[in-house]
Amino acid sequence: MAVRGDRATGDTGSPLAGRLNYLFANMHPPGAPYTNAHVAEEISRGTEEYGGVTLTEQYLSMLRNG
């Protein structure tokens, strides 16, 4: 994914979607990209650490799609 300023090429125009997709593409262990399900579960599990929020896989997908 090429990055141009704050927005990723090919995103839906949402700066948040572009940034989330950049993180998913670039910030993961070698050979093991994160899935929406994994990230949503980890955020929801650490409710104290992340301010008491829960996140579903579907909502994270919607955020990533703008």
Domain coordinates of the chain in residue numbers? Answer: 3-64
CA distance 33 to 24: 7
pLDDT at 22 over 90: yes
**Which phi and psi (to 5°) does residue 4 adopt?**
-125, 105
The model's pTM is 0.70
pLDDT single digits (tens) 36-53: 999 999 888 876 777 788
